[in-house]
Every structure is written in structure tokens, then in C-alpha cells.
Amino acid sequence: MGALADVAQTLAEKKITGKKSDPAFRPILAHYTNGSFFHDRKAFRDLYRGWCAAFVYHCSVEAGLGLPPRVMCKERVRSFAGVLTWLEWGERVGFIQKPEGFSPQRGDIVIYNGSIPVQYRERNAFEHDHIGIVLGLDGETLMVAEGNVDRQNVGGIITRKRGDACIGCYLRFPEGYVYKE
């Protein structure tokens, strides 16, 4: 999934801020607005300081994976703007890989558990609290493109320890994957 990583790297290098005034954030937000001002306000409010999964979704759209904005997960339609959706959908279609014995590659999606610093976590937050796209692996260090790094409302490229306990799982698309259900 080199195209997914290429898009993610390009966007993360822009250090997008999760603000309506940032022109690079508007296309990420647009997936959830339905073209109306009301939905635009609601989408912005829903994604404020919680847009990491929306960043990954936007990258998947730009990379041509054809994922819809919402999918059925455990008898409920969920938006790809949430980390839980990526996890539940990935489990349903068999794309989830546990970190033990798995060697991540460029273009894999990494789902974190408890990676947000305590002072920035929401109360009653899901265990699966963050998501990003792997850009590279150097020994035990992952380079990852993320939206909303550490809930600081800015995207970027960061490094994380591969064996870190906060890495919950990976999601790997098969080569040449395009959504069809």
C-alpha cells in the first residue's frame, strides 16, 4: 500500500491543523459535511481534537482505496472518522494483525491503545484511542504519519517504539485492494 503511505507522508509533512481556517484541513472535514453549513459545523465540532481517524480515511480516499465514509460494524453503521470503526471493520474483513510476530510495512495502519498522554485524554475514551499510517521501520522504531498527534490538533510524522505497549494492532490492506461489498 505504497500509495496510502505516499499520500499520508505528503499530508503529514504539511503539519495540518484541525482548524476551519487551515485550507489543508477542509478536505478532511468535507467527507463528513454533506455539503451543508449545518453539517459543516457539526462535523467540525465532532472532529475537534479527534481527527486522527478522519486523517487516515482521507488518505485512503486520496490513495484510491474506495472506502465509503460509513460502514456496517457490529450491527451498527459507523463512520471511518472513529478509530473503533477501523478496528471493527478491519476485524470483520480479516485485515487486523496483532503486533506479536508481525512485521509492519510502509502503508500499514497502526491502531494504538492508550497512546494519548493522560492530560489530553477525554473522559470515558475508548481503549483504542489513536491511529496512524506506517511510513517506515528502522529496527524497533516506526515512523508514522498521524493526524492530530497526541491530541494537539496538528498532524505530523512521529516515531514510536515498535514494541511499545500502546500499539494495539495493525491493519494491512491486501496489495491492490479496492473496496467492494
pLDDT in tens, 82-110: 899 999 999 999 999 999 989 999 999 99
More confident residue, 61 or 150: 61
pLDDT band (50, 70, 90) for residue 37:
very low
| Residue found by looking up cell 457490529 in the block | 74
> What pLDDT score was predicted for residue 105?
95
Q: Which domain holds residue 165?
A: 2-171
Q: Name the DSSP letter for residue 52.
A: H
Is 180 inside any structural domain?
no
Closest CA to 55 of 12, 19, 23: 12
Maximal C-alpha separation, the chain: 47
Q: E strands within the chain? A: 70-73, 76-79, 96-97, 109-113, 128-138, 141-146, 156-161, 167-171
Is 8 inside any structural domain?
yes
pLDDT band (50, 70, 90) for residue 42:
low
What average pLDDT is seen over the chain? 86
Convert the pLDDT of each residue in 124-149 to its tens digit: 555 668 899 999 999 889 999 999 99
> What pLDDT score was predicted for residue 126?
59
Is 105 inside any structural domain?
yes
Query: Does residue 72 carry a pLDDT above 90?
Result: no
Query: Does residue 117 carry a pLDDT above 80?
Result: no
Model confidence, pTM: 0.90
* Total structural domains within the chain: 1
Other C-beta atoms closer than 10 Å to the C-beta of 119 total 7
Closest CA to 29 of 44, 39, 15, 16: 44
Is 179 inside any structural domain?
no
Closest CA to 78 of 94, 55, 57, 99: 57
Average confidence (pLDDT) over 11-23: 92
Is 177 inside any structural domain?
no
Is 178 inside any structural domain?
no
Is 73 inside any structural domain?
yes
> What pLDDT score was predicted for residue 94?
95
Convert the pLDDT of each residue in 158-169 to its tens digit: 999 887 778 999
